[in-house]
Amino acid sequence: MTLLAVERIKLFTTRSPWWCTLIALVLTIGFGALMAGTSDEAIAPLNVAATQFGYGFGLVVVMVMATLAITTEYRFSTIRATFLAVPNRPSTLVAKATVVAVLAAVVGEIAAFGSWGIAGAIKPNVDLAINTAYEWRAVAGVGLVYALSAVVAVAVGVLIRHSAGAIAVLLIWNQLVEPLVQLIPRVGDDIHKWMPFNIANKLVTGNPDPTTRDVLQGPPPSDAVLGPWPAIGVFAAFAAVLLGIAIVVANRRDA
């Protein structure tokens, strides 16, 4: 508990988590409001999925926040003092990943329900009730995806240690590698179905999707072959393995 308290204090006494949290909330809720304000009931009726249009933008910002939480310690060499005070490096890094993941989950839930709420306020006559399992996952599932993605970001930050490099790797993978891998002839689509962030998105966009929405309404549907809950389980395992690798590497090299 002491380690968790220390990591919480270190996280909230720097500016980057506050700014990233604000930006993530403004982006996701802002896009929710934009989707509600521009929706046309005759062409593309507003639905629960559409309110989460900004989900991916908020995810990027949350991963940047999680990366900075560890890489700034390497940049200013405060990680050395941390490891001197607590020689058990795995405990320290797990505590940091836990605190960052909890913050990411809270941001994700506020962003998701905030987007849904503001859309309902803008279009009070539209039925945006959360009734089905799919609709609950589309909104409440955002926090879980954000939390696990934050763990992935912390692990990458530990491995690379430089803010710009770690952020570049995460953004290039999430925004370029996974979408563009589908362009590989014959095997691209099969590979894409097992890409980690595509698998994670299955929880939020996975079947059954009763809205039969256009792909431009809300986050792009995942084509992962697993069901929503097995998919997020695989992504959680991926995050855990990557964090484990990062801990082993951190134990073997100088801070």
DSSP letters for 55-100: HHHHHHHHHHHHHHHHHHHHHTTHHHHHHHH---HHHHHHHHHHHH
CA distance 47 to 221: 15
Q: What pLDDT shows up at residue 216?
A: 56
DSSP 212: -
Q: How many CB atoms lie within 10 A of CB 53?
A: 22
Is residue 237's pLDDT more than 90? Answer: yes
Q: What single-letter amino acid sits at 179?
A: P
- Looking at residue 142, its amino acid is V
Taking each continuous run of H as one helix and of E as one strand, the counts in the chain are 12, 0
% helix, strand, coil for the chain, step of 5: 75, 0, 25
The residues, any chain, with a CB within 8 Å of residue 59's CB and separated by 6 or more, are 145, 146, 149, 174
Output DSSP code: residue 183: G
Q: What is the pTM of this model?
A: 0.92
Our CA dihedral for 90, 230, 216, 188, rounded to 10 degrees, sits at 80
Confidence label for 25 from pLDDT (cuts 50, 70 and 90): very high
- Across 76-90, 185-199, 210-224, least confident range: 210-224
Q: According to the model, what pLDDT value does residue 150 have?
A: 96
Whether the CA torsion 14, 103, 56, 186 is positive or negative: it is: positive
Q: What is the number of other CB atoms lying within 10 angstroms of the CB of residue 55? A: 29
Q: What average pLDDT does the chain have?
A: 88
Amino acid at 143: G
User: What pLDDT, in 10s, does the model give residues 34-72?
Assistant: 888 887 776 667 888 888 988 999 999 999 999 999 999
Other beta carbons within 10 angstroms of residue 203's beta carbon come to 26
Report the pLDDT value the prediction gives residue 215, as an integer from 0 to 100. 55
C-alpha dist (Å) from residue 95 to 1, 45, 62, 79? 9, 44, 18, 13
Q: Is 173 helix (H, G, I), strand (E, B) or coil?
A: helix
Percentage of the chain with pLDDT > 70? 94
Give the N- to C-terminal CA distance of the chain in Å, as an integer.
23
| Cβ(144)–Cβ(232) below 8 Å | yes
Per-residue pLDDT, 85: 79
Highest mean pLDDT among 5-9, 41-45, 72-76 belongs to: 72-76
Lowest-pLDDT choice from 8-17, 28-37, 168-177: 8-17
pLDDT digits (tens, 9 = 90+) for 186-214: 888 899 899 999 999 999 887 655 555 55
pLDDT of residue 207: 67
Phi, psi of 40 (to 5 degrees): -120, 115
